[in-house]
Amino acid sequence: MNLMELNVQCFRAINDLGKQYPELNPAFYAIAEYTVYALALCALLYWFTRDSQNRMMVICATATFVMAEVLGKLAGTLHSNNQPFAELANVNQLVQKAVDNSFPSDHTILFFSFCVSFWLFQRKAGILWMLLAVCVGLSRIWVGVHYPADVLVGALISIGSALTVFLLLPRFTFVHSLLSFYEKMESAILPVKPRSKGL
């Protein structure tokens, strides 16, 4: 059995679950399509806590995503495959999508970039973020738009990028200088109200 046959077999094992348990399809559709909005909202909430550690975390996550996307596009030039629904028969397709190169999965890259970065900064809460990233990756297979290899490679690229950024970016003085400058400008426009003392 070659790798592509194994890839297809793993895809069938996961995607066919949607036929066996159709009551779960709406949940996996929602995870595959709408959790990206929750991720964006959470990143904004972390940013506007005005906590420097949280802001460095969001900066690292964003830089990780940019780095992983670039590496993902490079990987896509070395190997390409269309979405499973475009190549295979009888796919449980829940998401309508234009046919293009689905290798690696952009959704997986996005979620693993942010969720691994959040986990590196916040180990306890980060476990939940990692579970979310895994669920999103599985959901993209469940709804028929990615092969397991698309998801696995996207996750590996993001994990490597997150570790690299986490180890290097916070050490750069100019990053802290830019963040400090931004926070001064922010405080001038939106000053933090002092807490009132109890009587």
DSSP 57-90: HHHHHHHHHHHHHHHHHHHHHH-----HHHHSSS
Q: What is the mean pLDDT of residues 72-96?
A: 95
User: Mean of the per-residue pLDDT values for the chain?
Assistant: 93
Is the pLDDT at 65 greater than 50, yes or no?
yes
Mean pLDDT computed over 187-196: 73
pLDDT at position 3: 87
Structure tokens at 69: 């996307």
Q: How far apart are CA 158 and CA 112, in angstroms?
A: 6
199 pLDDT more than 50 = no
Residue 125: per-residue pLDDT = 84
- Per-residue confidence band for 193, with pLDDT thresholds at 50, 70 and 90: low
Give the pLDDT score at 107. Answer: 95
- Report pLDDT digits (tens) over 40-49: 999 999 999 9
Contact in structure between 32 and 95 (CB atoms under 8 Å):
yes
Q: Is the pLDDT assigned to residue 152 strictly greater than 60?
A: yes
The pLDDT of residue 13: 97
140 SS3 class: helix
Q: Report, as an integer, the average pLDDT of 165-169.
A: 97
Taking 3-state DSSP, the helix, strand and coil percentages for the chain, each rounded to the nearest 5, stand at 75, 0, 25
Residue 149 has pLDDT above 60, yes or no: yes
Q: Is residue 196 pLDDT above 60, yes or no?
A: no
Residue 39: pLDDT above 80?
Answer: yes
